[in-house]
Structure 1
């Protein structure tokens, strides 16, 4: 993840670096794709250009644009997942929900959000019912 930090000139949250070092470039239970460093950089540049051109629902800039959100993954349904820097090293999960064509914000850090989603406590209206045991591709 160091190469993403250098390319985007930002210090990423530790939970993201730890999670992506274990699960980056992985599809979880045929639904949630988490970017590793290479895809995070490539998709970030693409998403930044896309938002800069005027996407009506994504409200903020995306890294590598200064002060932008980090595009860290997507779902197979086309939802785009971001982390927003809230200051003091706290980054929280937000998303463009494609099927709803709206913007979702949480107050959860990446690990807390993922744990809540997989347990069925968070984002239940747009995430699937998860299996008891996840599989990874």
Structure 2
């Protein structure tokens, strides 16, 4: 039995190690206080986005997803951006990632967002197998970044 809920203040202690593991996977090290501030900002204003937290039957945290809400001119519609998806290694292949995406899709529908969009690292074959397996379409867009 897997439960997926929107993270609240009471979930921050369980969510923090998941965020850190996700950052470790991508070999980045943002300060813990900034990660905490991001989580608290989303809790305070879910119109910006939400974090979903997945727990197994024993209540142990096994994954999370972060979805930000925005508009996409090319679709002329609201979209949900699945910015983060992380499943603890011990739970991979058990449907946790699929369940988090499904809940994200449900939330998009509830908010009137026409699509859930996301990106992954080109070398993250495990994630790509999941995305291909649920019928997600690969985008032709390249991602660029510019610091401020």
- The TM-score, its normalising length taken from structure 2, stands at 0.37
Higher helix share: 2
- The TM-score, its normalising length taken from structure 1, stands at 0.40
Higher strand share: 2
